[in-house]
Amino acid sequence: MIPFLEFLTNVRVCLADGAMGTELLRRGYPQEVPLELANLTHPELVERIHRDYLSAGAKLLETNTFGANTIKLAASGYERQVAEIIRAGVNIARKVGREQAYVLGSIGPLGKPVGDGFGVRDEEARESYRIQLETFLECGVDALLLETMPSIREVELALEVLSTLSANVPYIVQFSFLPDGSTPYGEGLNRVVEFLKDIDACAVGINCGSGPRDAVRIISYFAEHLPGPFSVQPNAGYPQVVQGRLFYGASPEYFASFARDFVTLGVKILGGCCGTTPAHIEALAKAVHEKGAEPTIEVFELQEEPGEETALPPSTLAEKLGNQFVVTVEITPPKGIDLERVKEGVNFLKQAGVDAVNISDSPMARVRISPIALAHLLKEELGMESIVHFTCRDRNFISLQSELLGAAALGIQNILALTGDPPSIGDHPFARPVFDVNSEGLVQILSKLNSGVDFAGNPLGRATSFTIGVALNPGAADLDREIERLRRKIEYGAHFILTQPIYDVQDLERFLERFAGPLPPILGGILPLRSFRHAEFLHNEVPGITIPEQFRKRMAEAQNPKEEGIAIACEVIARIQKMVAGIYLMPPFEKYDMAVEIIGRLPKECRRG
């Protein structure tokens, strides 16, 4: 066979195969096992599917390696077998193709958002792609196919790795688009097209995400802005769940009815994705050679981007930070919807002069009322500003941004970016965590929203005005790592810092000595001790908290432990007051009277009025 690039240059239209994953499942492959493992456990089934596509007219066979990467296969324990799975997949496809079809090495997305601070760090992504690409090059595939790509960043990293390995292998890049013209991670069609202008792919295009009708509309935009050639592999319509499986209802005849539209738009590689079968490819093969009237193509029109508006004004807390000594108090959101007790406590704190309350986000992974809803009610009914603790545990990449935009619309502006406790330690241990991003990634998302765009760069119309807080443990066992993470958070846009409870002032002093460079305002964490047992529990069982022996001894010998705990807290505040911009009180067991007592004893320099 002639080289793939020469073939692609000279051919009018080339048929690729259809779906492998849904076809494996349709033919009885177990649903709970990685589809790519079939190369090792069911090679005869994979081979039969390839042969059926070849018989249907396909000249391009994709290897059954879409999810064969270390990130995806780690979930099922097969990450060490990536190279073995890829080699087997290439061998099966090559055995079938021989001198009749070209073999494309299929590379799918990593399955999690990519970027430092997100589900997959850049270096992890590079290493995963390196293993894949080295194996494909070693096996000698005719071309590489980066398909169903959800973000520009993933393609950038894959091509970056490829450039270090080989400049000769042809590659095709296909993004996945939803019907509205955005990728699954929210990147707009225009941004993707601009990116594709600058890469050296032998073909670019789309697959998955939508059916043939919307694929025609989206590829029409490609044709308007790119020279081609294009590659298109739509789904067989939109899926529905039937008996626990996705079912795609578009018939081969309907699917093939769009063939001439694609060819007219400059599509040279035409195949199918999810739900398509050999029958769909056979129908395409007939349709591309049929003659008929020129098709009428519905052109994709981008939605008009919202105009820029003035950003929201900063929060009251933002105006106070660094200008006066700030006092915040943590409150525990209730498990149910009865908020009267919480309101009474917050009103009590407000009368004592508290600047803001901290509302935790289902702490210890235990179900509590939404901190955003509670913060909104406290602002509307009591005029109390809140710092909402916002975790990455329960929300995927899209939900994180949606909820933050909702918070901004409700007037919630102060966010403490946290990774969150795993569900396994909470009252719903069977719940599945998300963790698409960690706290570093969340700071990046918040900063993007503050600049008037979502994380994918799509304009919002009006920028948010979040005051972004981050956590710090000055007594961390690995202080260098803690400092490194804090530096990144500050670089990403953090505005203030809340510390873990401070008992040993030397921890804070040591941190300040080690941290070179400017710091945003720090609110020192103060958790007053309630009893000797409380002190022992915190010291022995709570990670990140160390209570000096002298304080534990005082609590053991105290006639009035509660009063002693308040006295210790006041001593710590007196010693750190010149090192911090305020305090973050965490009264134990919702004992807000302890917080009010401490506020009443603050040094003169920390009081107002």
Residue pair 62/36 in contact by the 8 Å Cβ criterion? no
List phi, psi (to 5°) of 498: -110, 130
> Is the same domain home to 283 and 325?
no
Per-residue pLDDT, 585: 97
User: Residue 326 sits in a domain of what CATH number?
Assistant: 3.20.20.220
Asked if residue 123 is part of any domain, the answer here is yes
**SS3 label, residue 145:** strand
CA distances to 320, 355, 430, 509 from 580, in Å: 13, 15, 40, 11
> Is the same domain home to 271 and 158?
yes
- Could you say which of 287, 302, 331 is where a domain stops? 287
Which residues in the chain come in under a pLDDT of 50? Answer: 242-243, 609
Q: State which H helix or E strand residue 496 sits in.
A: strand 496-501
Asked if residue 184 is part of any domain, the answer here is yes
Name the burial class of residue 113, with classes exposed (0-12), middle (13-18) and buried (19+) by CB atoms within 10 angstroms of its CB: buried
> Is the same domain home to 386 and 500?
yes
User: Residue 117 sits in a domain of what CATH number?
Assistant: 3.20.20.330
> Is the same domain home to 341 and 230?
no
Asked if residue 557 is part of any domain, the answer here is no
> Is the same domain home to 275 and 402?
no
Based on the structure, what is the number of domains in the chain? 2
H and E: helices and strands count for the chain:
24, 18
The DSSP secondary structure of 153-198, one letter per residue, reads HHHHHHHHHHHHH-SSS-EEEEE---TTSB-TT--BHHHHHHHHTT
> Is the same domain home to 254 and 339?
no
**SS3 label, residue 81:** helix
> Is the same domain home to 267 and 333?
no
- Could you say which of 245, 271, 287 is where a domain stops? 287
User: Which residue, among 512, 472, 469, has the nearest Cα to 492 in the 3D structure?
Assistant: 469
Asked if residue 295 is part of any domain, the answer here is no
* pLDDT tens, position by position, 399-417: 899 999 999 999 999 999 9
Residue pair 143/182 in contact by the 8 Å Cβ criterion? no
Asked if residue 539 is part of any domain, the answer here is no
Residue count of the chain, please give it: 609
Say if residue 274 carries a ligand binding annotation: yes
Please give the Cα distance from 147 to 207 (Å, whole number): 7
Please give the Cα distance from 367 to 370 (Å, whole number): 9
* pLDDT tens, position by position, 92-104: 999 999 989 999 9
Give me the helix-helix angle, 549-557 and 561-576, nearest 10°: 150
Please give the Cα distance from 109 to 129 (Å, whole number): 10
> Is the same domain home to 118 and 158?
yes
Asked if residue 377 is part of any domain, the answer here is yes
Asked if residue 449 is part of any domain, the answer here is yes
Residue pair 135/82 in contact by the 8 Å Cβ criterion? yes
Q: State which H helix or E strand residue 414 sits in.
A: strand 414-418
User: Which residue, among 436, 419, 290, 427, has the nearest Cα to 365 in the 3D structure?
Assistant: 427
Q: State which H helix or E strand residue 498 sits in.
A: strand 496-501
> Is the same domain home to 180 and 253?
yes
Q: Supply the range of the domain harboring residue 589.
A: 316-529+564-602
Per-residue pLDDT, 291: 64
CA dihedral 545, 493, 379, 322 (to 10 degrees): 80
* Token output for 469: 């807080």
* Token output for 534: 């409380």
> Is the same domain home to 345 and 466?
yes
> Is the same domain home to 281 and 391?
no
Asked if residue 338 is part of any domain, the answer here is yes
Residue pair 479/397 in contact by the 8 Å Cβ criterion? no
> Is the same domain home to 326 and 248?
no
Per-residue pLDDT, 234: 95
Amino acid present at 136 = F
**SS3 label, residue 307:** coil
